[in-house]
């Protein structure tokens, strides 16, 4: 454990803005949207005060912000941005372009519900809607995780075997605006950790002009390009873990694709992403004192999807509840549920499963809602049945 | 404005778009690109190109016709993309991380669909932010790449596949959007209209645009034999006639001051002369539509007079306009 700065009390957005300042990317191109706004505002002040060397492109929309990021990254500049919700949705077209050009852009996505009806509060429908864009996706529980993941962004994204854009998520308002504890690294530690990007062709090499984004039609290589993106995703899984491990050597904070809590002897398990994992752990402590052997699985890496890790973590439990803060209308459940089920089926893990949908549009998730979910799982473990349909937590009226 | 050189002097400048690309015979886009890049002299250029004919015809993977660095991202974002490239250049240059003897120049180019319509916001944002870039539009008056659909640049009365003439329609009913005026309204240092038939004028304008610090906008008439339903070999002749009729006047706006680059004066021709050579206007040439054609002529003349007034407000009376 090396020297880290003292414990600070900051919001999630402040933590990420601090990490961005320490990374000091060549270019930041962004557009303001609630609840991401103060990342952009704080960074603007760093630029105004000459604390960073970054060029700041104040784009006129998120579509243009991501487009400018694409131009910048293709020109060989370390490039960052941040967005939320509708802004993420407006970027959607060009998120695919960024990934297919293999541009290691690092983006903060502060999770917020999508319209309509319009709602500014947290759920995961924005980034979950972008899960197939070809970006690496890391979900964070609190300000510390968001800070750490931001520092780890470029070493993963720029890795020669990966070369993919990366987005970091944390919960809008709950984390972005709430004050929590943070142990930051020193500027030198951050710069040493991120190092220099490996060389790659760029638009600004006069002796070697390059064409980016050519037409690749019916008789071309489009299919092969898509396959290569998937190979890069597969290669990213160990690179992400290596980066987590290297970060642990520096900080003592050890991350995994899945963070597991009390899974060693668990009879039932709850899988949950983001800030709700903290609430789940506090309920877990209470129920364990009553003799309910409940474990918590918190996925951090969602793209690439850690299939093997899920199969190993959940193997042995009698019932598992998968919590989604986004829905997939008309499907059997939310996106996390569907992917966990596929992982379990593929790896031959047979257990009772159910999908809990919670927190859409910022609906509170109270400890008693999680307790209710865990008790449902326990009764299934004791021989009861679980419904095939979703169970909504803290839904008004219907329950 | 940069000095117009002789054709011989321009020929000595490097060709920066190679032959063998797949643009149609008679297409204006490739000719315009060659002229624009001559305006960059021997500076390296990064080109950002919107989705469209030019892009699909010049970058068929694994080939490229571009001798400069080139990026295509999507349809509506060529200007936003070049903003990012220019920002990266500024940042890296400041840090001493660009290995180039000559300063880079930045060109965003899109058709009228990618400029007047779907790309307008990105162009407006890029011009307002003041990037040191040149934004060019090659205006052939419709979405030609997808099969001739109407755009905001399609002339009133023209047939397109989404503004067809029919029993109750005369073709496109609305007048064109004036994109050049919109660019001027951004208060940027340099805006110009050009046509590739007058290549000395176009190259000199491109040179001025590249050399002007800050954003510059060039709107360039681009013949399209397929969409105009005109003969392949007639492209430059038609462009010349459209300029001679003052329907596509050549002018520039330098720091808000209008200068007409070419005034045909008593050689000004009626718009009917070039309209009747383009199949997209064929349905208008019936006795019943004479009045409508007269209306279009009135519209054209009114716009030309307005432009002359703007130039007169800008130009001292003793400074004659080039003939």
Burial B133-170 (b: 16+ CB within 10 A, else e): bbbbbbbbbbbbbeebbbbbbbbbbbbbeebebeeeeb
Nearest chain A CA: its distance from B103 CA (Å): 10
Sequence ranges of chain A with CATH classification 3.40.50.970: 7-184+191-251
Q: Rounded distance, CA B152 to CA B116, Å? A: 6
| B323 pLDDT more than 70 | no
Residue B5, number of CB atoms within 10 A of its CB: 16
**Binary contact (B60, A68; C-beta < 8 A):** no
Average pLDDT over residues A277-291: 97
Q: Is domain A7-184+191-251 annotated with CATH 3.40.50.970?
A: yes
Which of A58, A64, A215 has the CB atom closest to B77's CB atom? A64
Which runs of consecutive H residues, i.e. helices, occur in chain B? 7-11, 28-38, 53-58, 78-94, 120-129, 179-184, 199-211, 225-228, 235-244, 272-275, 290-314
Nearest chain A CA: its distance from B6 CA (Å): 28
Size of interface A-B (CB pairs under 8 A): 174
Indicate the pLDDT class of residue B291, thresholds 50, 70 and 90.
very high
Report which secondary-structure segment, H or E, holds B190.
strand B190-194
* B136 and B220 Cβ atoms separated by less than 8 Å: yes
Q: Rounded distance, CA B240 to CA B237, Å? A: 5
Residue B185: φ, ψ to 5°: -65, -15
Q: Rounded distance, CA A225 to CA A230, Å? A: 9
Average pLDDT over residues B183-203: 98
Residues of B in contact with A27 (CB under 8 A): 84, 87-88, 91
**Binary contact (A76, B92; C-beta < 8 A):** yes
pLDDT for A299: 98
Q: Rounded distance, CA A370 to CA A261, Å? A: 15
pLDDT for B321: 61
* A10 and A177 Cβ atoms separated by less than 8 Å: no
Average pLDDT over residues A379-398: 93
Name every residue whose Cβ is closer than 8 Å to that of residue A398 and which is 6 or more positions away in sequence: A392
pLDDT in tens, B147-160: 999 999 999 999 99
pLDDT in tens, A224-247: 999 999 999 999 999 999 999 999
Model ipTM value: 0.97
Report which secondary-structure segment, H or E, holds A242.
helix A222-251
Indicate the pLDDT class of residue A397, thresholds 50, 70 and 90.
confident
* A188 and A24 Cβ atoms separated by less than 8 Å: no
Name every residue whose Cβ is closer than 8 Å to that of residue A355 and which is 6 or more positions away in sequence: A321, A322, A323, A324, A332, A333, A334, A337, A390, A391
Residues of B in contact with A63 (CB under 8 A): 76-77, 80, 122
Residue of A nearest to B73 (CA): A213
**Binary contact (A74, B74; C-beta < 8 A):** no
Sequence ranges of chain A with CATH classification 3.40.50.920: 258-392
Nearest chain B CA: its distance from A80 CA (Å): 11
**Binary contact (B87, A57; C-beta < 8 A):** yes
Top pLDDT among B1 and B62 is at B62
Nearest chain B CA: its distance from A134 CA (Å): 15
Name every residue whose Cβ is closer than 8 Å to that of residue B158 and which is 6 or more positions away in sequence: B141, B142, B150, B171, B172, B280, B281
Q: Is the dihedral of CA A173, A176, A177, A179 positive or negative?
A: positive
**Binary contact (B48, A71; C-beta < 8 A):** yes
**Binary contact (A27, B84; C-beta < 8 A):** yes
Nearest chain A CA: its distance from B9 CA (Å): 24
**Binary contact (B80, A72; C-beta < 8 A):** no
Q: Which residues, listed in sequence order, are joined to residue A180 by a DSSP beta bridge?
A: A10
Indicate the pLDDT class of residue A286, thresholds 50, 70 and 90.
very high
Nearest chain B CA: its distance from A214 CA (Å): 5
pLDDT in tens, A106-130: 999 999 999 999 999 999 999 999 9
pLDDT for B1: 80
Q: Which domains does chain B have, with CATH numbers?
A: 7-314 (3.40.50.970)
Strands of A27-87, DSSP E: 27-30, 55-58, 79-83
pLDDT in tens, A4-21: 678 999 999 999 999 999
Among left, alpha and beta (phi > 0; psi -120 to 50; other), residue A262 is left
For residue A169, give the nearest of A49, A346, A39, A73 by alpha carbon. Answer: A39
**Binary contact (A203, B94; C-beta < 8 A):** no
| A3 pLDDT more than 60 | no
Residues of A in contact with B61 (CB under 8 A): 214-216, 220-221
Residue B211, number of CB atoms within 10 A of its CB: 17
Q: Is the dihedral of CA B67, B110, A95, A74 positive or negative?
A: positive
The bridge status of strand A7-11 relative to strand A352-357 is unpaired
* Averaged confidence pLDDT in chain A: 97
pLDDT in tens, B230-267: 999 999 999 999 999 999 999 999 999 999 999 999 99
Residues of B in contact with A216 (CB under 8 A): 61
| B320 pLDDT more than 80 | no
Nearest chain B CA: its distance from A118 CA (Å): 23
First to last CA, chain B: 16
Nearest chain B CA: its distance from A94 CA (Å): 7
Name every residue whose Cβ is closer than 8 Å to that of residue B249 and which is 6 or more positions away in sequence: B193, B243, B260, B262, B304, B307
Place of tokens 């180019």: B109
Q: For an interface test with A, give the residue of B73, B95, B102, B124 to mutate (most A CBs within 10 A).
A: B73
**Binary contact (A68, B55; C-beta < 8 A):** no
**Binary contact (A75, B77; C-beta < 8 A):** no
Residues of A in contact with B104 (CB under 8 A): 204, 206
* B13 and B38 Cβ atoms separated by less than 8 Å: yes
**Binary contact (A55, B61; C-beta < 8 A):** no
| B318 pLDDT more than 70 | no
Fold classified for A258-392: Rossmann fold (3.40.50)
pLDDT for B316: 67
Average pLDDT over residues B115-122: 98
**Binary contact (B88, A204; C-beta < 8 A):** yes
Residues of B in contact with A47 (CB under 8 A): none
Indicate the pLDDT class of residue A1, thresholds 50, 70 and 90.
very low
| A282 pLDDT more than 50 | yes
């Amino acid at each position: 454990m090396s020297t880290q700065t003292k414990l600070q009390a900051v919001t999630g957005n402040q933590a990420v803005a601090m990490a961005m300042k320490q990374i000091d990317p060549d270019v930041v191109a962004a557009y303001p949207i609630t609840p991401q706004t103060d990342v952009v505002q704080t960074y603007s002040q760093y630029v105004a005060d000459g604390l960073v060397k970054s060029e700041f492109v104040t784009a006129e929309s998120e579509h243009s912000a991501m487009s400018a990021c694409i131009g910048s990254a293709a020109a060989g500049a370390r490039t960052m941005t941040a967005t939320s919700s509708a802004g993420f949705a407006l970027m959607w077209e060009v998120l695919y372009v960024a990934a297919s050009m293999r541009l290691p852009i690092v983006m903060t996505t502060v999770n917020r519900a999508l319209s309509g009806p319009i709602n500014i509060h947290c759920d995961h429908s924005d980034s979950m809607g972008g899960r197939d864009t070809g970006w690496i996706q890391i979900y964070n529980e609190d300000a510390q995780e968001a800070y750490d993941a931001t520092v780890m962004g470029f070493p993963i994204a720029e890795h020669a075997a990966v070369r993919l854009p990366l987005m970091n998520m944390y919960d809008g308002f709950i984390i972005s605006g709430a004050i929590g504890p943070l142990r930051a690294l020193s500027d030198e530690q951050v710069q040493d950790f991120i190092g220099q990007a490996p060389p790659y062709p760029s638009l600004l090499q006069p002796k070697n002009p390059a064409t980016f984004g050519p037409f690749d039609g019916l008789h071309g290589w489009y299919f092969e390009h898509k396959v290569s993106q998937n190979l890069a995703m597969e290669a990213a899984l160990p690179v992400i873990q290596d980066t987590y491990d290297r970060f642990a050597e520096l900080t003592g904070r050890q991350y995994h694709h899945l963070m597991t809590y009390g899974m060693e002897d668990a009879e039932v398990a709850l899988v949950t992403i983001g800030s709700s994992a903290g609430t789940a752990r506090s309920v877990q402590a209470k129920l364990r004192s009553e003799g309910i052997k409940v474990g918590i699985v918190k996925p951090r890496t969602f793209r690439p999807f850690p299939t093997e890790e899920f199969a190993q973590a959940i193997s042995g439990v009698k019932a598992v509840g998968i919590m989604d803060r986004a829905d997939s209308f008309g499907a059997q459940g939310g996106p996390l549920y569907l992917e966990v089920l596929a992982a379990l089926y593929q790896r031959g893990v047979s257990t009772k499963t159910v999908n809990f949908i919670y927190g859409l549009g910022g609906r509170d998730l109270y400890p008693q809602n999680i307790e209710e979910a865990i008790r449902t799982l326990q009764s299934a473990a004791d021989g009861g049945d679980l419904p095939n349909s979703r169970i909504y937590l803290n839904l008004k009226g219907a329950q | 404005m940069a000095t117009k050189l002789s054709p011989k002097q321009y020929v000595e400048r490097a060709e920066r778009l190679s032959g063998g690309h797949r643009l149609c015979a008679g297409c204006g886009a490739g000719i315009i690109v060659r002229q624009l890049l001559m305006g960059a002299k021997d500076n390296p250029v990064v080109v950002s190109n919107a989705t469209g004919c030019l892009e699909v015809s010049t970058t068929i993977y694994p080939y490229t016709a571009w001798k400069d660095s080139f990026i295509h991202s999507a349809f509506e974002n060529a200007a936003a993309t070049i903003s990012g490239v220019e920002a990266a250049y500024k940042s890296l240059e400041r840090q001493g991380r660009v290995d180039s003897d000559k300063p880079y120049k930045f060109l965003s180019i899109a058709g009228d669909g990618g400029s007047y319509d779907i790309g307008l916001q990105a162009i407006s944002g890029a011009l307002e932010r003041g990037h040191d870039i040149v934004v060019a539009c090659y205006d052939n008056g419709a979405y030609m790449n997808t099969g001739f659909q109407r755009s905001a640049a399609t002339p009133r009365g023209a047939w397109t596949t989404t503004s067809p003439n029919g029993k109750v329609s005369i073709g496109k009913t609305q007048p064109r959007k004036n994109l050049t005026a919109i660019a001027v309204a951004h208060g940027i240092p340099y805006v110009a209209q050009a046509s590739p038939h007058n290549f000395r004028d176009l190259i000199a304008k491109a040179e001025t645009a590249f050399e002007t610090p800050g954003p510059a906008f060039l709107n360039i008439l681009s013949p399209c034999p397929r969409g105009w339903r005109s003969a392949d070999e007639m492209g430059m002749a038609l462009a010349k006639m459209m300029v001679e009729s003052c329907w596509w006047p050549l002018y520039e706006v330098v720091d808000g001051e209008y200068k007409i680059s070419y005034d045909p004066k008593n050689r000004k021709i009626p718009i009917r002369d070039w309209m009747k050579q383009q199949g997209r206007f064929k349905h208008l040439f019936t006795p019943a539509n004479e009045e409508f054609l007269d209306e279009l002529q009135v519209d054209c003349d009114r716009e030309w007079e307005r432009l002359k007034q703007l130039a007169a407000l800008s130009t001292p009376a003793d400074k004659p306009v080039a003939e």
